[in-house]
Structure 1
Amino acid sequence: MTQYRLLVNHDLLLYMRELERASTSQPGGLRDREFRALRAGLRALAHGDEANFEGKRLRFAEHDLSDCAEIKLPVVPETRGSQELGASHRLVYREFSADDGGPPYREAVCFEHRRDDRPFEVAAERLEREAGVRRNRVKTYGASSDIAPIRQNLPPDIRRALTATANVAPARNAVKSSPGQQSPSRRTNGDHPNRGR
């Protein structure tokens, strides 16, 4: 099984945090079920388990999402008459080769209810895809499975973001006391700055 480094679109990350907050105040509610489904979907993407979920590679329809795939996640049961409609939500993602020789990347783009093609509209907006415009073909490296997206080179914006975060010093080294000054965490009770006032 292939492992992937997971990237999460900024807007999706904000939505996930919103779902997490709502899930703690309403356990078992819709937002809690969405949060649990999204986490399960992200785990599946990171562990290469997309085949455990019904899904497919996307194509050029109204927007060109041919570099994306979806997995289908059940959140709410839905029926039309006596027929079950299947999984209610979609998690749309892309896949990229790594420049550093490490595991490939997967970017989760959006998680939405399937109604009115909302997942594809949101994915197109986040990826800045215009309706009716086919993307220029990019170099591809095949796909990791029949339902996974075609792997591509890292786009320049993601490469820059990864490079920038790689050069950030660990937080433990971010704050240092000047020589002769005691760190607040190392003061003893007798050294408390407000004592004796």
Structure 2
Amino acid sequence: MTRCSWCGTDPLYVAYHDEEWGVPECDPRALWEKLVLDGFQAGLSWITILRKRDNFRQEFDGFDPERVATWDEARIQRALQNPGIIRHRGKIAATVKGAQLFLDIEEKEGFSPWLWSFVGGQPIQNRFSSMAEVPAATPESTAMSKALKKRGFNFCGPVIVYAFMQATGMVNDHMTGCPRHAQVSRQSADG
């Protein structure tokens, strides 16, 4: 049994693979954080975001949607000065708007149940034996992407959304030869 090859040997990446990636996440705030970070990843590698994640958490008030939703232009400008995050005006503004949208969805139907509805409320258990088999997007990620965009979210195309679904355990894309595949599958069943 060997770990999924995408994480390489970087200790931070290995820990992320072994402890977080693919574990079913139902906490709405944690889901929103991951969606935001996946949006910041657009055009970059995930390890870049992972290395800056603590800085993002500090800058974005612990990804507290109620706080981020109140950001004004001055607060956005302050974030743009932080070299510890990705300083992209569009992505920062999208995060503020996304916080407002999150609060609306959370109040009306629950952010977590709404997102999980795109996979029928249960993780999809894929059985890929090689990275070549893993799709970049799926009908489920396309549907979630369209629904997010319809609500007003940005930086949430089908490929970004599929990465989000993989990371949050909506799909189990650990390779079948990886010890985490069975472990995550059991966590999904216990969920």
Same fold (TM over 0.5): no
> Which protein is bigger by CA-based radius of gyration?
1
TM-score by length of 1: 0.26
Provide TM-score, normalisation by structure 2: 0.27
Higher fraction of strand: 1
The structure with the greater share of residues assigned to helix is 2
For CA contacts below 8 A with separation 6 or more, give which structure has more relative contact order.
2
